[in-house]
A and B are shown apart, each in its own frame.
Chain A
């Protein structure tokens, strides 16, 4: 893929969005039959499944903690999720994302309710188009709620960045690749507390503040959709007969 001549044309982005617009997204709770809780999230061309199992007994036993549950996250990209085939299995990047996903979710969980056990979260990326970790966190938090695991709030996540001197929200692949900055953020929307903040590139202080504010607005939109997805799952059941 070659670098496009311009990433911003007349204040619009290459996919026609304005700088502060999210990609179209879709969230479904309870998408998998056999998991204790699950969710499917599409953010633009990202397609991500999250499955939650547990709380269940930890194996190997000595990894369990005596006074609280362990949250175990695995982020994985399917070999066919990107243009060039990705070699299957964990790599440096996916291990890092697994870790930051776990740390983004941990603050909302009541892990002390389930001593000696483990809660497994699997995030599988079927199709990637920049911002898969944020889509993964959004899916994982809905899946945890769907599994009936107590949480203080859902976690919502979105990336902001800079493309040709403009601060933009929810970057897609070309912007991520050729833009100057990418900053994924996860938030507890109710408290506006940040649980994930990574940054690749540069922002001035003003840009950073504006970017945070933008991300906060994006998270609120996603938060509403997450809640809606959970509501739909349970009200749909009511109308099933």
Chain B
């Protein structure tokens, strides 16, 4: 080919190579990316829907103070000081005993692994230091502009490149999804949504400008092979590692959005800013499960969910119906295996909450967080058995997984049978409350990077 070509000549040359056909759609679009509605590349049996499979009464939903309501931060509020002291005593005694007796999953090397997994993440901040962000203004160029579809496309590409699994977007509505932003962050700071030009942070408040209407929600994968060793240090360390990885994804995402010339408000600490599973459901990353967390079509329960809020106009992604919530109606596996009996056995999700830690206004299988977290003290870690035994917590390499997903999405009557098949194939003899595999065996296995299979890619690229 000549060294310098006009675009016409270039395309002509490509045509000689027989490549014109594959590039034709791009040429027609005038070298622009498609502006068709953005969506994750998923099998056709996963339907995009207007309303999520979780029923919501938005007039009953109120913005909650994360630090004052959830059992995560306010555990002591829901039980007596004596009980709390006793639990702390049990945890100290158990941890001392387990490591000294070399209990599987609690050995020195397991402890060390967990210790390391909890490191490496940058500190979370609500807003990055403007001095450090390479804004277009500093570079002497205008802000990035494009269609909302392009915006969702490039943000998704960037976040996935930084370590996210799937990415969804919700356009906030004052009467509905805006209520899923916390009234107060975990550190007690009031989250004010105001007509402001820029986000701001003070001693006891954070300001979210009203014009920041796009909540980016993303998953970060956990290692199934580690998680099935729950409830041990080796099992729970994948959760720690995933949170640390998410911190890096958030910082990179904030710098990316800032680099495009837009604001990016992140989680100031773990689980800050907004209710993650709720935004996961609203943006179609998954459905609400019996264990009352996000269950995704791609990674099952093997994810954690995170958020960044921006004023970059983006194309929202729709909620989905992959038959997952319906499947949970006929599968009580997480509840069956829950050592603290914190999960619901009801067939249908209900409007009635179990305790003050639950957020009313939607139909769910509400959990008893106090029972759950009390058990964490016994194990010295965050248990995770409900995540581990979920039939959708699989690596999806075997094509039978695809059959299972298809059947779950299309033939609900078969859900009970699918659960029995899962019992037969994967967790037949699990001793109650014990790991599915020995922690020791994990050290001898060959695992992929971070223990996750990143080839379950689902991003639409056209």
| Chains A and B belong together in one complex | no
**B interface residues with partner A (beta carbon < 8 Å):** none
**A interface residues with partner B (beta carbon < 8 Å):** none
